[in-house]
Structure 1
Amino acid sequence: MATFAKSTFSAAGYAAFRPSYPDSLYSAVLAFHRGPKRLCLDLGCGPGIVTREMSKHFDRVVGTDPSGPMIKQAKASIEGQKQYANVEFREGGAESTPSIGDGEVDMVVAGQAAHWFDYAKLWPEMKRIVSPKGTIAFWGYKDPVFVNFPEASQIMQHYLYDSQPGKLGSYWSQPGRSYVQDKLRIIQPPQADWEKPERVEYEPASKGKNSGEGTLFMERSLTVGEMKGYLRTFSNFHEWQKNNQDRKASSEGGSGDVIDELFDEAAKTSDWFRDESNMVDIEWGSGLVMTRRE
């Protein structure tokens, strides 16, 4: 998570462009949880999207993140708002939560953060802090798909994962990214301490909205310009940017960066991508993993 922890990282931009989660996802998570709702811990909370939502359902919610800029953004999002009086944000990692007492947490959640965790250290800490029959719900989403533009989706995948010079594939932090690509199937709670996990997945297709397989949670309509902004929140783009500081986005008066190049190629498959005000429907493949403490 080093990219997001850097002082140069724009947490405000991340918060603006990252997708939120639908009520159906929260409903699935809360339906799985059968115990008390005293304290919920949101690991890798980022700008506090999940933390704020869970505060509606728990007496207290604590969001933690190793990124100082993220925690600053999260705190700003609740400042002066009475409805979030039960929310607290703390800077810190998922694998060590010394401010949380033994068996104090009724539910632990993580939205688009679980692929960063060190599970050899995480599971002992979860065993310590989660109450008997308490629950864990981790979810994540992979790459966006233009559900009505299959050729443009293929071009986007090429730019995001090709490791040749000029593309973004070599800048991913691994193995974390591969965990997301595999819908978090790597997450296997120790059987001695946790129930067999329940998994909910979705894999999108390019045959129109909701044409994929599984349970759809993540969808959104963005303008082409907003889509560019969203891709620029990716960790691999930030690493690419460090090594290509001479290439500025055309929206910033530059000659164009790798994201502009990606969309120039997409425009060759459909003129729709030439106008940044045009709307495109997006879906994400996703994985939700839930388990209970034995």
Structure 2
Amino acid sequence: MATFAKSTFNSASYAAFRPTYPPALYNTVLNYHRGPKNLVVDLGCGHGIVPRYLSKEFKQAIGTDPSPNMIKQSKESTSSSEYPNVEFHVASAESLPFIKDGSVDMVVAGQAAHWFDYPRLFPELNRVLRKGGTMAFWGYKDHVYVSYPAASKMLVEYSYGMDQEKQLGSYWSQPGRSILQDKLRPIKPPEDIFEDITRLEYEAGTEGPNSGEGTMFVNKKMTMKQSMDYMRTWSSFHEWEKLHPNDKKRSEARSGDLIDWMYDEMKKAEGWTDEDMELDIEWGSGLLMARKRE
């Protein structure tokens, strides 16, 4: 089971520290879409940010997630008076029995597509999408401290090195993480079902904001402390944490955890001193769009 679907996962922290998606991303997807906007379905909806946003554009928005905790968080964050046309279901992406054949105008997935079982998913999408309906999946990979190349290099070393004591490489779920790292390129919509397949990608740079290549969709200013808390929402960190129960974060008056140790090195390399200093952060990303054949 994915870390995010487990009962021990802190969905409130996930909602607080994960980056959000800008209007430019939604507008790109909406401009690609053709035809009616009756029903949009978000697969792996997490805390419900995407269904809430798209509910302004569609008559009905449905969010699904296999995690009861995430669905609980979604419902608590979605006022029925403000969002009367949004509903949420505990469900896997690959099985949507509560959705009628050919009734979906758009199906989306934000930071969830790398978890899906595609031999099962594509037939289900073929069933629920109307002809000409849109599939839009997007995901972001590692963040980059765009003005701090040394810290960015250390982030990669800590994230993917294979030292089980001090690095996270062996704790990522595969092939999911590799799919994200490759900006969703391994996801290949069957051409007998989909057409007009389009990809937009971004690779962040380290020469300042907007120094990367491609179309940027995911960026955020974070304090150093916030960026540490963001990394503590990573699935790999949660797996590391299970095997190191005595290593707790320093802010709780403990000796420190892997994130504290990593930032100790970053502080030395970059001269960071104030954990409330703001960092410009960008994420490499991939957006995949396709239409169901007429």
The two structures have a TM-score, normalised by structure 2, of 0.98
User: Aligned partners of 2:220, 2:10: CA distance in 1, in Å?
Assistant: 22
Aligned equivalent of 1:110: 109
Report SS of the residue matched to 1:197.
strand
Aligned equivalent of 1:203: 203
Aligned equivalent of 1:94: 93
Report SS of the residue matched to 2:184.
coil
Q: Map of 1:1-294 to 2, 5 A cutoff? A: 2-79=2-79, 81-166=80-165, 167-272=167-272, 274-294=273-293
Q: What do residues 37-94 of structure 1 show as CA deviations (whole Å, max 9, x unaligned)? A: 0000000000001111011100000000001110000000013x41211000100100
User: Aligned partners of 2:99, 2:81: CA distance in 1, in Å?
Assistant: 24
Deviation at 1:196, TM superposition (A): 3.8
Deviation at 1:197, TM superposition (A): 1.0
Query: Structure 2 counterpart of 1:101, which letter?
Result: K
User: Aligned partners of 2:21, 2:185: CA distance in 1, in Å?
Assistant: 20
Query: Structure 2 counterpart of 1:95, which letter?
Result: E
Query: Structure 1 counterpart of 2:13, which letter?
Result: G
User: Aligned partners of 2:219, 2:236: CA distance in 1, in Å?
Assistant: 22
The count of corresponding residues between Structure 1 and Structure 2 is 292
Report SS of the residue matched to 1:132.
strand
Query: Structure 1 counterpart of 2:179, which letter?
Result: Y
User: Aligned partners of 1:292, 1:83: CA distance in 2, in Å?
Assistant: 31
User: Aligned partners of 2:198, 2:2: CA distance in 1, in Å?
Assistant: 30
Q: What do residues 150-196 of structure 1 show as CA deviations (whole Å, max 9, x unaligned)? A: 00000011111101122111000000000000000011111111104
Structure 1: which 5+ runs fail to align? none
Q: What do residues 73-125 of structure 1 show as CA deviations (whole Å, max 9, x unaligned)? A: 0000013x412110001001000100001001000000000000000000000
CA RMSD of aligned residues (A): 0.8
Q: Any conservation in 2 of the 1:40–1:105 contact (CA below 8 Å)?
A: yes
Q: Any conservation in 2 of the 1:231–1:237 contact (CA below 8 Å)?
A: yes
Structure 2: which 5+ runs fail to align? none
